[in-house]
Structure 1
Amino acid sequence: MTAAMQSTAMPTAEQHGLKAHSDGAGSFVPVQTRSERFRSVKVADFEPVTGREHEWKLSPVAAFADLTGGELDGSRFEIEATDVSGVDVSWIGRDDARIGAAGTPEERASANAWSTFGEALLVKVTGEDEKVATITRSGLGSSPRAAHTVIEAAPYSRALVVLRGTGDARLTENVEILVGEGAQLTVVSLQEWTDESVHLASHFARIGRDAKLKHIVVSLGGKVVRLNPSTHLAEQGGDVEALGLYFSDAGQHLEQQVFVHHDAPNTRSRVTYKGALQGEGARSVWIGDVLIGNAAVGTDSYEQNRNLVLTDGTRADSVPNLEIETGDIAGAGHASATGRFDDEQLFYLMARGITEDEARRLVVRGFLVEIVQQIGSPELEARLIAALEAELQGS
């Protein structure tokens, strides 16, 4: 057989295109899912923030560069705590075993706070009776600060803990929430900062066997508020309700990146965030990530985000995501909607003698109050409804 005949009878791999391509070889592959994100408690392990990173691309990073990369004051600060039996508030050192038990920073601002804080504020909940405790931070000032808080609910304990921020602040912080077996804990994070304040927060929650956490974020004040709650349903029967309420005015940026990790059998999660926007430059960001791990059989999960646009010149970003690693689940779903007033609702109210302005306030109040009414404290609910009414006076 000649060389020419051999070439015809036995085609080479190159003739069929079976050779390695160099296109894209060694190129960077971006993180595709929330579960793949890098984590570290050391700020030096993270690259400087540019705004092009997946976790920062919707955030006004120039407004808080001092919190992501600058020096922070991590010293103890003044707090005001209600005196309630079964809720003890104290300070603990960085070497306490509870620190780091709920989670690890996924981004530079969180790691900067973790690397800097001197002592952590501990809120310890015990006792099976219902109780309400409020911890208020109001004197943080305008210098960049770091903080770390641990909220620990003992097994079978019950409580509602309100973590409230008022006054001036430039704060980056981490909040760890440990919910023991059979405990039922509600944590309300209430942002009522002044108009020029900036608050970056990462909340990490670990939920024990047959325990339930209701986590509620209420963001009303502050120029930039970015609060990202992550919940780890680590043991069988764990349950989380993650609720959020925000009202963004002109020039205000309110952001939430929610992560729920189902990591054990027969766990349940419900995520509902609602927001309203009014005024030129009002901005909201909501990203909802749910991971159902391969061991989380019987998972029941649903997340939703609803935004009500009250004026022109606003922007609402809403991105729900589901990552499912097992098909043996009870259910999983998500929904997202952004829209203006319902004209039929307005017409119905105005046809009964209600003015257009009052009708609009009633529609917005009805839209948002659903979240407020799930807090479980009549006094706090009434105060927040009054605060919403005050926000609406400008609509």
Structure 2
Amino acid sequence: MAAPTQAPAVAPRANAHIDPAAQVANAGFVPVQTRSERPRSFDPADFGVPTGREVNWKHTPVAQLKPLFEPAEPNDGVTYAISHEQYLRPALGHGTAPRGEFFLPEDVVSAVAWQGSTDAMHLSIPADEAVAEPIFVHIDGTGGRADAHLVIEALPHSSATVVLRHTGTAQYAQNLEIIVRDGARLTLISVQQWQDDAIHASAHQARVDRDAELTHVVVSFGGGVVRVNPNVELAGAGANGRLYGLSFADSGQHLESQVYLHHKGPHTVGDVLYKGALRGASAHSVWIGDVLIGPDATGTDSYEANRNLVLTEGARADSIPNLEIETGDIVGAGHASATGRFDDEQLFYLQARGITEAEARRLVVLGFLTEIVQRIRIPELQDELLAAIEAELVGVEA
């Protein structure tokens, strides 16, 4: 079995977006600010225990995630059930391809999950096959601690939709490695509907090859602390990546996504849209969006946006978009972020037509979040998510 190796250190680029406060004369330490320059390693010891001052941890309740900084022993916190077992391949140990073909941990939790999951689930869609029905992977927490590494591979010119459903409660460190080979079409939907005491930190890393497409959706409603960080590399010419997110944070919940989209190949297209609503004291959401258009990504067209609707006092949404462009030969690139309360004009318009204030507020929030739900092309899941939003909206006040 081949031993994992640490990624080589990467020297900061001269044109990287670095905090100006760190660019002082004779500085002994310049903090890493850009996602592409973060250290990577399979060894948890190379990261150390987060303090909460690191750029990738400073918005996260580090103390609550502490159970995930050490490997699970025993690894019995969740159970797995798959709807289409014919696509399940033999488990992948360390050093067994395609495990690790693209994945390389960016933080200590991901490295712990790599080391702790001796056998990785491998889901593979055969070449040239179009799978009509969604493939559901049900991950149910049984109250314990677990590490996991899952590999989802769409072979050339295949197409499929895979839905990960997280329920129950657990302390769960999860890696998801996604490989979309030439000409393939894959939709990956990760739904977090944990119980209130669950802790879930997941690193999703995907590579999209030539003329391939990945639609990646993160839906987080349940859980005490849920941190799902997608990292998507559009590696091949003509690759397409659509990254969507939906969250609803209640009192005491922390829901987080740090999104990284790397345009590496030429003529790639990226679309990132995350929307969230928050209600209740200490409800907290974090969205950090990083887009890197590399020097060879000529002809790129990319846009990222995050929108948050704060429904009550005491809720907080952190939203930080970042964009790096290393070539001038692109079609377009942009980013946007907005966080606010109800639109008074929308409320007035609805109330002027005889709709009560409470119903008007419900309709505004539902309309705001439904845009993401509509991009999920599974009718039964759409209905379920809309019902979940309706349940969250019970008792929404000014």
Would you call these one fold, judging by a TM-score over 0.5? yes
- Name the % identity: 53
Figure out how many residues of one structure are paired with residues of the other and give that number.
371
SS of corresponding position for 1:141: strand
CA distance in 2, matches of 1:82, 1:69: 31
TM-score for the superposition, normalised by structure 2 = 0.90
Aligned pairs (5 A) from 1:1-395: 25=26, 27-69=28-70, 71-74=72-75, 78-83=79-84, 87-88=87-88, 90-126=90-126, 127-138=129-140, 140-395=141-396
1:130 deviates by: 2.8
Tell which deviates more after alignment, 344-353 or 280-289: 344-353
1:165 counterpart SS class: strand
- Higher mean alpha-carbon deviation, 71-80 vs 190-199, is at 71-80
Three-state SS of the structure 2 residue aligned to 1:354 is: coil
Larger radius of gyration: 1
Cα displacement (A) at 1:31: 0.8
Alignment match, 1:10: none
Q: Work out the CA distance in 2 between the residues paired with 1:49 and 1:116.
A: 19
Contact kept, 8 Å, 2:78 with 2:143, in 1: the verdict is: no
Q: Compute the displacement of 1:89 (Å).
A: 5.5
Tell me how far apart the structure 1 counterparts of residues 123 and 308 of structure 2 sit (CA, whole Å): 33
User: What is the Cα deviation at residue 343 of structure 1?
Assistant: 1.1
1:281-326: per-residue Cα shift (whole Å, max 9, x none)? 0000000000111011111100000000100001100000001111
Secondary structure in 2 aligned to 1:78? strand
C-alpha displacement at 1:64, in angstroms?
A: 1.2
Structure 1 residue 146, shift from structure 2 partner:
0.6
- Give 2:105's aligned amino acid: P
Cα deviation for residue 141 of structure 1 reads 2.7
Distance in 1 (alpha carbons) for counterparts of 2:259 and 2:113: 19
Cα deviations by residue, 1:81-130 (Å, 9 ceiling, x for unpaired): 11376x33653322321111222111111111111112111111231243
Partner amino acid, structure 1, of 2:359: E
Give me the whole-angstrom Cα distance separating, in 2, the residues matched to 1:68 and 1:193: 20
* Kept after mapping to 2: 8 A contact 1:239/1:269: yes
Residue 309 to residue 162, structure 1, CA distance change in 2 (3 Å): same
In structure 2, how many angstroms separate the alpha carbons of the residues matched to 1:391 and 1:63?
24
How big is the shift at 1:75?
6.1
Distance 2:364 2:33 in 1: 38
Aligned AA for 1:210? D
TM-score (normalised: structure 1): 0.91
Amino acid paired to 1:102: F
Instruction: Measure the CA separation in 1 of the matches of 2:315 and 2:292.
Output: 30
2:71–2:147 CA contact under 8 A, matched in 1 = no
Give the secondary-structure state (helix, strand or coil) at the position aligned to 2:79: coil
Q: Which amino acid aligns with 1:342?
A: D
Q: Distance in 1 between matches of 2:338 and 2:37?
A: 27
**Matched residue type, 2:110:** S
Given that residues 117 and 146 in structure 1 are in contact (C-alpha distance below 8 angstroms), is that contact kept between their aligned partners in structure 2?
yes
Measure how far apart 1:32 and its partner are. Answer: 2.7
Partner of 2:66: helix, strand, or coil? helix
* Matching residue's letter, 2:318: D
Q: Which amino acid aligns with 1:113?
A: A
In structure 1, the gaps of 5 or more residues are 1-22
Partner SS for 2:142:
coil
| Cα RMSD, aligned residues only | 1.6
Structure 2 vs 1, CA of residues 111 and 98 (structure 1 numbering), >3 Å: closer, same or farther?
same
Residue pair 1:72, 1:146 contacting (<8 A) in 2 also: no
Residue 15 of structure 2 aligns with which residue?
none
| Structure 1 residues 123 and 129, CA gap change in structure 2 (3 angstroms) | closer
Which amino acid in the other structure matches residue 372 of structure 1?
V
- Residues 110-163 of structure 1 deviation map (CA, whole Å, 9 limit, x = unaligned): 11111111211111123124331110011x333321111001111111111001
Q: Distance in 1 between matches of 2:77 and 2:365?
A: 40
